[in-house]
């Protein structure tokens, strides 16, 4: 439901200005479809929003292109004319066009893809169709480039941070997966959801827990953000409080045990109470059971208004249980990679020092707090956590532009006949061949 356009430029090392960043965003803007009355994303409303806003955003972006040099008259870098008010501007022609190709809703993806093809043909430049899950994984490298100076090295890859390999936790309304990012195009999926994505589960819980007035006055359908604000707000009686008040579980036993509330209910950790017990160790995510438990708690009031205090407690507990479920699989993955390294001295599998957390849910402050506390107490205080700024956590054009740059510099481009992809894995071992498997 997001329509976004960006103009991104990378810079060669500037010896006269050693502190200048290695990338610059000349333009970046986004319009989100108004889906509030549907309490979720409506495909037709989103498509209409793309059709309404994409061309105007591109027109704005063109005016933000760097000015063309007066001497740039060679064939390949011929400037493009851009109309601005009552006069024309000479602008630099982009080197290539990046566009989201998948995964996602085909009508929305096709809208952007067809316009991108038109620009690529008109300007006779390459097209880069980008996997937006790969883009989320690479977003911290964009953030680093925007804030750090470029350095002159023979191997371009060494100048990008975080360096491969690292773990990536992709958490959004449509996806939940833990990925071993080994290289630009090699992202092995270690765990993914078997039912609901975490963002979807939290949004549904929020619609059940939040007071009606909060839902009806919400400006968008990002109910997870409202749930966090509701759960971490200061108490009404003005007493002192800890916004998170969180004690991480020291052992797996503590992690899987129910924690009864003062209201008589308790939420079970996902996959903790399967019949055989084996699912508690499975490398997968599941959030449907948590959502069903929240719905049962809300329904048991049978028309009676749930108190504000109980709503706050339930909101906090839902997030704690969901986020600990994420953290538990991160620790399990780190344990497995470390064991592989210990049994094979030549293995590089265990040499992980960074966990990238990206996607819309990554902007949640409680998630950040839980992941850090959980890793610290379970033996991984050295793991660096990287969260992109909130504006780059959700879907955006800047991360698509950046991924296009990395792919372009690595020698890749898409053919003009490429199609939008509803499903497109980032794992090369998947049936579709991953990022490079798409034709």
**pLDDT (tens digit per residue) in 202-214:** 999 999 999 988 8
Q: What are the backbone angles phi and psi of residue 194, rounded to the nearest 5°?
A: -95, -5
Cβ neighbors of 113 (< 8 A, separation 6 or more) are 99, 100, 101, 129, 418, 419, 420
Per-residue pLDDT, averaged over 145-158, amounts to 54
- Does the structure show a pLDDT above 70 at 419? yes
Per-residue pLDDT, averaged over 317-334, amounts to 96
pLDDT reported for residue 224: 87
Q: Name the E strands within 353-402.
A: 354-358, 384-386
- Does the structure show a pLDDT above 60 at 163? yes
Percent of the chain exceeding pLDDT 70 equals 85
329 vs 180: CA distance, rounded Å:
12
- Does the structure show a pLDDT above 70 at 51? yes
- Looking at per-residue pLDDT, the higher value among 2 and 288 belongs to 288
Task: Write the pLDDT tens digit of every residue in 275-287.
Answer: 555 677 889 999 9
Residue 39 Rama label (left phi>0; alpha psi -120 to 50; beta): left
Cβ neighbors of 66 (< 8 A, separation 6 or more) are 9, 26, 91, 92
- Does the structure show a pLDDT above 90 at 187? yes
What does the mean pLDDT of the chain come to? 86
Instruction: Specify the range with the lowest mean pLDDT, choosing from 123-137, 151-165, 199-213, 305-319.
Output: 151-165
Confidence of residue 37 (pLDDT cuts 50, 70, 90): low
pLDDT reported for residue 152: 41
Per-residue pLDDT, averaged over 258-275, amounts to 87
pLDDT reported for residue 367: 94
**Quick one: which of 357, 359, 330, 10 has its CA closest to 160?**
10
Per-residue pLDDT, averaged over 410-429, amounts to 95
- Does the structure show a pLDDT above 90 at 299? no
Per-residue pLDDT, averaged over 20-47, amounts to 78
Instruction: Specify the range with the lowest mean pLDDT, choosing from 26-30, 41-45, 104-108, 291-295.
Output: 41-45
pLDDT reported for residue 56: 92
pLDDT reported for residue 155: 42
What is the signed CA dihedral for 223, 225, 231, 235, rounded to 10 degrees? -110
Count CA atoms within 13 Å of residue 72 on its CB side.
14
Instruction: Specify the range with the lowest mean pLDDT, choosing from 29-38, 226-235, 271-280.
Output: 271-280
- Is the dihedral angle over the CA atoms 314, 317, 323, 326 positive or is it negative? negative
pLDDT reported for residue 158: 42
Q: Name the E strands within 333-429.
A: 354-358, 384-386
Confidence of residue 274 (pLDDT cuts 50, 70, 90): low
pTM of the model: 0.85
pLDDT reported for residue 13: 56
Per-residue pLDDT, averaged over 278-304, amounts to 86
- Does the structure show a pLDDT above 80 at 76? no
pLDDT reported for residue 19: 61
- Does the structure show a pLDDT above 80 at 75? no
Per-residue pLDDT, averaged over 396-421, amounts to 96
225 vs 405: CA distance, rounded Å:
31
pLDDT reported for residue 215: 86
Confidence of residue 60 (pLDDT cuts 50, 70, 90): very high
- Integer Rg of the chain from CA: 23
224 vs 228: CA distance, rounded Å:
6
Confidence of residue 240 (pLDDT cuts 50, 70, 90): very low
pLDDT reported for residue 265: 94
Pairing of β 354-358 and β 384-386: parallel
Cβ neighbors of 186 (< 8 A, separation 6 or more) are 428, 434
Instruction: Specify the range with the lowest mean pLDDT, choosing from 88-102, 189-203, 219-233.
Output: 219-233
200 vs 34: CA distance, rounded Å:
17
Pairing of β 23-32 and β 87-91: unpaired
pLDDT reported for residue 153: 40
pLDDT reported for residue 223: 86
Cis peptide leading into 50, omega within 30 of 0?
A: no
């Amino acid at each position: 439901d997001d329509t976004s356009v960006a103009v991104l430029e990378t810079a060669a090392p500037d010896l006269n200005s050693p502190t200048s960043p290695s990338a610059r965003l000349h333009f970046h803007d986004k319009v989100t479809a108004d889906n509030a009355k549907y309490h979720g994303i409506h495909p037709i409303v989103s498509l209409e929003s793309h059709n309404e806003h994409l061309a105007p955003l591109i027109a704005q972006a063109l005016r933000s292109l760097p000015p063309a040099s007066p001497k740039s008259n060679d064939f390949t870098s011929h400037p493009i004319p851009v109309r601005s008010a009552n006069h024309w501007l000479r602008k630099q022609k982009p080197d290539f066009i990046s566009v989201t190709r998948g995964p996602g809703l085909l009508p929305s993806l096709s809208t952007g893809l067809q316009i991108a093809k038109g620009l690529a043909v008109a300007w006779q430049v390459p097209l880069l169709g980008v996997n937006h899950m790969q883009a989320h994984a690479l977003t911290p490298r964009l953030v680093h480039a925007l804030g750090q100076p470029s350095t002159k090295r023979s191997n371009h890859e060494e100048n990008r941070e975080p360096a491969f390999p690292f773990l990536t936790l992709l958490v959004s309304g449509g996806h939940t997966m833990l990925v071993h990012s080994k290289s630009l195009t090699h992202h092995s999926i270690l765990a993914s959801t078997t039912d609901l994505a975490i963002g979807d589960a939290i949004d549904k819980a929020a619609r059940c827990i939040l007071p009606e007035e909060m839902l009806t006055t919400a400006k968008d359908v990002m109910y997870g953000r409202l749930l966090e604000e509701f759960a971490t707000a200061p108490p009404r009686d003005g007493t002192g409080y800890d916004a998170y008040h969180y004690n991480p579980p020291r052992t797996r036993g503590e992690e899987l045990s129910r924690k009864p509330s003062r209201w008589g209910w308790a939420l079970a950790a996902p996959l903790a109470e399967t019949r055989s017990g084996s699912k508690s160790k499975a490398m997968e995510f599941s959030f449907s059971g948590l959502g069903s438990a929240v719905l049962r708690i809300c329904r048991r009031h049978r028309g009676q208004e749930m108190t504000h205090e109980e709503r706050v407690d339930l909101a906090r507990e839902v997030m704690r249980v969901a986020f600990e479920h994420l953290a538990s699989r991160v620790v399990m993955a780190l344990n497995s990679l470390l064991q592989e390294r210990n049994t094979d001295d030549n293995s590089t599998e265990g040499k992980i020092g960074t966990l990238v957390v990206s996607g819309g849910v990554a902007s949640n402050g409680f998630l950040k707090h839980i992941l850090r506390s959980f890793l610290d107490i379970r033996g991984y205080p050295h793991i660096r956590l990287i969260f992109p700024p909130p504006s780059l956590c959700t879907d955006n054009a800047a991360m698509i532009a950046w991924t296009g740059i990395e792919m372009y510099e690595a020698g890749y481009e898409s053919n003009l006949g490429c199609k939008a992809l509803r499903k497109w894995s980032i794992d090369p071992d998947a049936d579709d061949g991953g990022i490079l498997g798409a034709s």
